[in-house]
């Protein structure tokens, strides 16, 4: 297994380019199951989760391949409808084949993704939404078993205890595009990744309005055709690089970042004392003074502060000048990184779904273990600013979501390397 070794304390300087968004690429690749024609999906990040999605498609009898940043899918011979436990258990986003399989193959058997370290991951909204379209769904032997001779449009309120759901919205949308009649999804997720999926479906011939708002209207069509699409830049990767510049007191130009997808983050960075200047397709990031100010954040569905940036923001708060409070409203147990940051000298304690972070002058490098994807990024950020050597193990999590991260960081001066354990 690989691990990452960082010698901290170098202010990062230079230019980093953001890759395509993993969370947009996965449901879009799955949506290519909705047509027998060829779909060409560009700007796809080369990540373990993308490879897993391609393997799932192949296991369904579909021709799918990736060359550089381009994924080609041809679902002419999609003759299977089972997404197996072995693949699904490695990636929760596998569940986004459920909607397309149900709409196109009229049946689907998708392994239940199960919980994960960031907390419970229920699927009730996926099931509720697809049932409202007329599908029969049951949980049997660890699988979601779904069938529908015909799907019918319906009005669906898609909200749960924690608000909207990104992948449930994706599943209902990808099923409703081939349903008979009109579907209205209320309390739909507004995340840019959902908008990107809708834009891809529209290119395939779907009739969708309101994507990007909490009410999405879909008029079902008889068939969809092939399409070519370029995935939006990854806002979470962009946000992580912004924090890398801020935490190390460096200055980075982040290319291909979409400023309109980062409003909640940029607003908080102003409070912290980080200057971010947007110019065409790039962001220029620089810390304003010698210290970072503390910050209070609450994670919320988009356009609120993203839960996928909470761990990285906490890494920055550990070295700010004061007390920060970070509250989780999406995944209340998503705090596995706290004990690892504390091993590096941070002062964080948990109070329910909030982390109280008392900034310290300096972190000290230590061997730490990554618990999940974004926690890995937080530990890398902490390692970049810590005194001495930090060794981050279990970085297979990192490889699920950050394309060539150490290569990108080396180019801007970080002393970071990947070694085999």
- Provide the minimum distance between the beta carbon of 95 and ligand UD1 in the complex, in angstroms, as a whole number: 7
Q: DSSP class of residue 169?
A: H
Return the number of the residue (252 or 353) whose C-beta is nearest ligand UD1: 353
CB 359 within 8 A of CB 342: no
Among 121, 152, 255, 288, binds ligand UD1 (CB under 6 A): 121
Structure tokens at 344: 């590096």
**With binding defined as CB under 6 A, does residue 166 bind ligand UD1?**
yes
Candidates 33-41, 158-166, 349-357, 376-384 — which segment interacts with ligand UD1 by CB under 6 A? Answer: 158-166
**With binding defined as CB under 6 A, does residue 168 bind ligand UD1?**
yes
Among 62, 167, 190, 338, binds ligand UD1 (CB under 6 A): 167
Other Cβ atoms within 10 Å of 280 Cβ, number: 7
Candidates 123-131, 195-203, 238-246, 387-395 — which segment interacts with ligand UD1 by CB under 6 A? Answer: 123-131
**With binding defined as CB under 6 A, does residue 123 bind ligand UD1?**
yes
Task: Give the H or E element holding residue 104.
Answer: helix 98-105
Structure tokens at 333: 């147990």
Strand ranges of the sheet holding 143-147, from the earlier edge strand across to the other edge: 82-83, 107-111, 143-147, 136-140
**With binding defined as CB under 6 A, does residue 105 bind ligand UD1?**
no
- Provide the minimum distance between the beta carbon of 404 and ligand UD1 in the complex, in angstroms, as a whole number: 20
For the chain, give the number of residues.
421
**With binding defined as CB under 6 A, does residue 172 bind ligand UD1?**
no
Distance CA 240, CA 377 (A): 7
Return the number of the residue (123 or 195) whose C-beta is nearest ligand UD1: 123
**With binding defined as CB under 6 A, does residue 171 bind ligand UD1?**
no
143-147 and 107-111 strand pairing:
antiparallel
Is 78 assigned a catalytic role?
no
Return the number of the residue (41 or 385) whose C-beta is nearest ligand UD1: 41
Candidates 55-63, 121-129, 143-151, 271-279 — which segment interacts with ligand UD1 by CB under 6 A? Answer: 121-129
CB 363 within 8 A of CB 327: no
Return the number of the residue (160 or 181) whose C-beta is nearest ligand UD1: 160
| Most distant CA atoms of the chain, gap in Å | 64
- Provide the minimum distance between the beta carbon of 83 and ligand UD1 in the complex, in angstroms, as a whole number: 15
Distance CA 89, CA 101 (A): 18
**With binding defined as CB under 6 A, does residue 161 bind ligand UD1?**
yes
| Interactions with ligand UD1, residue window 307-366 (CB under 6 A) | 307-308, 330-331
**With binding defined as CB under 6 A, does residue 260 bind ligand UD1?**
no
Return the number of the residue (94 or 390) whose C-beta is nearest ligand UD1: 94
Give the alpha-carbon dihedral of 46, 48, 52, 57, to 10 degrees.
Answer: 0
**With binding defined as CB under 6 A, does residue 125 bind ligand UD1?**
yes
Q: DSSP class of residue 137?
A: E
| Interactions with ligand UD1, residue window 379-398 (CB under 6 A) | none
How would you class 180 by CB atoms within 10 Å of its CB: exposed for 0-12, middle for 13-18, buried for 19 or more?
middle
Return the number of the residue (122 or 273) whose C-beta is nearest ligand UD1: 122
**With binding defined as CB under 6 A, does residue 93 bind ligand UD1?**
yes
**5 — phi, psi (to 5°)?**
-115, 130
CB 411 within 8 A of CB 244: no
Helix then strand then coil, in percent of the chain rounded to 5, is 35, 30, 35
**With binding defined as CB under 6 A, does residue 402 bind ligand UD1?**
no
Among the options 39, 78, 96, 116, which is catalytic? Answer: 116
Binding site for ligand UD1 (CB under 6 A): 23, 26, 92-93, 120-126, 160-162, 165-168, 189, 193, 307-308, 330-331
Q: Which residues are catalytic?
A: 116
């Amino acid at each position: 297994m690989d691990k990452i070794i960082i010698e901290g304390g170098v202010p990062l300087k230079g230019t980093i380019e953001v890759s395509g968004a993993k969370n947009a690429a996965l449901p879009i690749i799955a949506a290519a199951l909705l047509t027998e024609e060829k779909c060409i999906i560009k700007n796809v990040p080369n990540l373990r989760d993308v490879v897993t999605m391609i393997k799932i498609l192949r296991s369904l009898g579909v021709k799918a391949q990736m060359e550089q940043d381009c994924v080609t899918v041809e679902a002419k011979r999609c003759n299977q409808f089972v997404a197996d436990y072995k693949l699904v258990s490695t990636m929760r986003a596998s569940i986004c084949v459920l909607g397309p399989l149900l709409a196109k193959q009229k049946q689907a058997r998708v392994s239940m993704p199960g919980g994960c370290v960031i907390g419970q991951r229920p699927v009730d909204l996926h099931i509720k939404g697809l049932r409202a379209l007329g599908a029969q769904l049951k949980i049997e032997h660890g699988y979601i078993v779904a069938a529908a001779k015909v799907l019918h449009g319906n009005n669906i309120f898609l909200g749960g205890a924690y608000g909207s759901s990104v992948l449930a919205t994706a599943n209902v949308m990808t099923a409703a595009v081939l349903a008979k009649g009109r579907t209205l999804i209320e309390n739909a997720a507004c995340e840019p990744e959902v908008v990107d999926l809708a834009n891809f479906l529209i290119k395939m011939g779907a009739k969708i309005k309101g994507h990007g708002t909490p009410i999405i209207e879909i008029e079902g069509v008889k068939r969809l055709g092939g399409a070519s699409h370029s995935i939006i830049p990854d806002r979470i990767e962009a946000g992580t690089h912004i924090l890398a510049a801020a935490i190390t007191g460096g200055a980075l130009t982040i290319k291909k970042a979409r400023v309109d997808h980062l409003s909640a983050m940029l607003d908080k960075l102003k409070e912290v004392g980080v200057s971010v200047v947007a110019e065409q397709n790039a962001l220029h990031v620089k810390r304003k003074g010698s210290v970072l100010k503390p910050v209070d954040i609450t994670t919320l569905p988009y356009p609120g502060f993203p839960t996928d940036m909470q761990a990285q923001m906490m890494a920055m708060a550990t070295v700010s000048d004061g007390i920060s409070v970070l509250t989780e409203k999406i995944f209340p147990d998503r705090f596995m990184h706290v004990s690892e940051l504390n091993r590096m000298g941070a002062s964080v304690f948990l109070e329910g779904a909030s982390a109280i972070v008392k900034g310290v002058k300096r972190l000290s490098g230590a061997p730490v273990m990554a618990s999940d994807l974004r926690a890995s990024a937080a530990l890398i950020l902490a390692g970049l600013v810590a005194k001495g050597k930090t060794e981050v193990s279990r970085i297979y999590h990192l490889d699920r979501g950050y394309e060539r991260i150490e290569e990108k960081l080396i180019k801007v001066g970080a002393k970071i390397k990947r070694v085999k354990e």
